[in-house]
Amino acid sequence: MPNGSLDRWLHMDVHVSHQLQGLTLLQRLNIAVDIADALDYLHNNCEPPIIHCDLKPSNILLNEDLVAHVGDFGLAKILSEPSTEQLINSKSSVGIRGTIGYVAPEYGEGGQVSSCGDVYSFGIVILELFIGMAPTHDMFRDGLTLQRHAKNAFPGMLMQIVEPVLLSTEEAYASSLQDGSNIMEHGSNNAIFSVMKIALSCSRHAPTERMCMKDAATVIHRIRDGYVKIRQNEEVATAAYNARHFAETSRPAP
């Protein structure tokens, strides 16, 4: 893929790669939608269902338009059992499937592969997408995980742990609008808050407490579309304001 992996964009070395800039909020929301749609398709539109088992940023590839594609199905499993509940409650001797930090906790406890495992990995990837820290970061030790880090900050201190590059790009965009405070308060902050709430729900420890992928995809679509609508309204208002201002300043003096 022309733009490489999502991991490359989230953890780029700005001193080495001057061409790359941080992903904007809209780009991150679009990527979250793409990943959710891909997993929803695998879980609910393939017959029999397919479980990826190794979702992580390095396995998510971006094309020239930054559309995300889920790749590397080397650990994928085709489900032969229609009952998700039976899969969750059964045990497997296969061992851990996936990558440390992204793999569902039940897999480490001998739990059977299920769509809930992919949902957990999806939640961790979305947390990383908006916080900018991998679950294997050095700060995550002694019981502190990326999921717990986000949960501890939610909701009151959430914006303090969001990736600084994301906030700076959004503030720069807001400054170009006539009412930038509106897009930040009702658009950007609300979208980040809402998508992080979904990520926390998807990454709960107990499989039965997680959202299903179809519901997560539906809500993330709604979050992205709501943010886009606010952006469009603010851009139209700014264009109208600029047009009026130009007309007034261009009017000949009496």
Annotated catalytic residues are 54
Longest dimension (CA), the chain: 88
**How far does the chain reach from its first CA to its final CA, in angstroms?**
61
- One DSSP character per residue, the chain reads -TT-BHHHHHT--TTT-SS--PPPHHHHHHHHHHHHHHHHHHHHTSSS-EE-S---GGGEEE-TT--EEE---TT-EE---S-HHHHHHSB-SS---S-TTTS-HHHHTTBPP-HHHHHHHHHHHHHHHHH---TT-TT--TT--HHHHHHHHTTTTHHHHS-HHHHHHHHHHHHTSTTHHHIIIIIIHHHHHHHHHHHHHHT-SSGGGSPPHHHHHHHHHHHHHHHHHHHHHHHHHHHHHHHHHHHHHHSPP-
Cα atoms in the Cβ-side hemisphere of radius 13 Å centred on 111:
24
